[in-house]
Copies of this chain bind each other. A is one copy, B any other.
Amino acid sequence: MKELQRLLDRLIQRANINLREINYDATPVIQNLVPLRQMDKFYAFYGISNYHPLDLQFQHANLAGSYFLGKCRVASSLVYKSDVRGDELKKKGDVFKFQNFEIPITRDEGIDIEDSFLVKTLVHNFSHDPESLEWFFIKDTISTHYANIHGSPCDGCFLGPFATADLTTLRDCIIGAFSYVQAGEISHMSIKPGTIWVRSPGAFNFFYQYDRSRLEKYISYTTGSAPTGIFMEVAEACKEDFQNIFDRVHIEHPVAVPETASVDRYALVKGGTHISDNVLVAQRAFLDNAWMGKGANAQENCYIVNSRLEGNNVTAHGAKILDAELGKNVFVGFNSFLNGRPKTKLKIGEGCIIMPHTIIDAETPLAIPDGHLAWGMITGPADIKTNTISIKEFAAVSDHFSMGDLFFEGSGKAFVEAFEHRIQHILEANGAFCDGTCSLGHAQFNQKISFNTLQPYSEGDLKGLFPTITIRP
């Protein structure tokens, strides 16, 4: 295990060099993030299919429990139980539009993870950085439990548990626990835990800050310790059931899957679940007594329990829906937590947008009316008033707007259109609109993925490291 320890030391040093201005010390974080003895216990796996590019390179890395798809390079890194999904990368010949630029893509884009330590992290989408369109880089970066790195090249960053970097290039930044940042490009910033920040320079700025004392019950993180709170409890509750899924070569899910839908072989699906046409259930998603309407999806680390989704629902990476009924076209953003009760289901009306990192946790019956936008902490009727607004009304905001802990400036119309456009794109990409031959997306492409497994050395100096491996078509 000598070499693995040496790699860990290297990662500590690299993080500290990058974050020196913020006076960040990565030593206790990295030392306690994952016990070294866990690092040779789990296999990594990668997908092979006709519908995805295949260009993988792994070198001097531990990949325990992680999943790779597409074009991806990992060097001198620890990637632990993470999902690195290269199924939305740009292709050679594409043209990327940015402001007045039309930038040709000169080779297939790849995800490039170097000198980084990712734990239970989702890496997805593509680089939105006009300065680096062919490499979606993650360099000198530490990301912790259930963080999402979505279309966000990172260099020298720390992402706390359940943090999301979305369509943003980050350099030398700290993103606190459960913070969501979608801001184009940021550098040398330390984002406090529980910050929800959506910015489109020149168009709008959406900013919400969770009350830390109310947030602690859900997610609490102290440097050097494991994260705690309800989010972790939900996420880790079915660890053993998932282990069973990983311990078998062939999996039969106890549910009928239509020809136009796909349920990943590494998803965990329990009885009472219904899968309609064009549904996508990704790896590490958990469905128990879940009714998935046509075109609904459940992405990585989603938990949908005792709930009904009417159709064309996006359940973004890490969202949890328990005891809830969601109308058609409801969007539930990253890591949101919708927690109804068995006897008083939480109701989300048709066409609602639940902002990323929203908590709706209601002891009493709660309903969000059709066509509403919801954000932040909602635990009772009073919060509905301060933390939701009809999308129509919001679209009419032309200058600024504030309500409860939300501060918004700019064009509400631009904000709503950006979200609606994106939701449409997500549904499309996931194959929600597929008619069998047209508009194919992940739900259709993922049906025929084969998985290969990788194991590390089990003894000696190299214990825990994976061999150098290159895979091409």
Residue positions of A touching B, CB distance < 8 A: 43, 48-50, 54, 246-250, 448-462, 467-473
Contact B451 A455 (CB under 8 A): yes
The closest CB in chain B to the CB of A455 belongs to: B450
Of B249, B450, B451, which contacts A457 at CB under 8 A?
B450
Contact B471 A468 (CB under 8 A): yes
The closest CB in chain B to the CB of A466 belongs to: B48
Contact A473 B469 (CB under 8 A): no
Taking A247-B250, A248-B249 as known contacts, 5 extra A-B pairs with beta carbons closer than 8 A to each other, sorted by chain A number, are A43-B249, A43-B452, A48-B456, A450-B457, A469-B471
Chain B residues positioned under 8 Å from A249 (CB to CB): 43, 246-249, 453
Contact B472 A50 (CB under 8 A): no
Chain B residues positioned under 8 Å from A48 (CB to CB): 455-458, 467
Closest CB-CB distance, A177 to chain B, in whole Å?
Answer: 33
Contact B450 A452 (CB under 8 A): no
Cα(A454)–Cα(B470), bound, Å: 13
The closest CB in chain B to the CB of A44 belongs to: B452
Cα(A238)–Cα(B328), bound, Å: 52
Contact B246 A467 (CB under 8 A): no
Chain B residues positioned under 8 Å from A43 (CB to CB): 249, 452
The closest CB in chain B to the CB of A54 belongs to: B467
Chain B residues positioned under 8 Å from A468 (CB to CB): 471-473
Closest CB-CB distance, A44 to chain B, in whole Å?
Answer: 9
Cα(A452)–Cα(B454), bound, Å: 5
Contact A452 B451 (CB under 8 A): no
Contact A49 B248 (CB under 8 A): no
Of B49, B452, B457, which contacts A50 at CB under 8 A?
B457
Of B454, B456, B459, B473, which contacts A467 at CB under 8 A?
B473
Chain B residues positioned under 8 Å from A450 (CB to CB): 455-458
Q: With A467-B473, A471-B467, A472-B467 in contact, do A459 and B54 touch (Cβ < 8 Å)?
A: no
20 A-B pairs whose Cβ atoms sit less than 8 Å apart in the complex: A48-B456, A48-B458, A50-B462, A246-B249, A247-B248, A249-B249, A450-B455, A450-B456, A450-B457, A451-B455, A452-B452, A452-B453, A452-B454, A452-B455, A453-B453, A462-B473, A467-B471, A467-B472, A469-B471, A469-B472
Contact A50 B247 (CB under 8 A): no
The closest CB in chain B to the CB of A246 belongs to: B249
Cα(A249)–Cα(B467), bound, Å: 19
Cα(A452)–Cα(B462), bound, Å: 16
Closest CB-CB distance, A253 to chain B, in whole Å?
Answer: 16
Contact A460 B54 (CB under 8 A): no
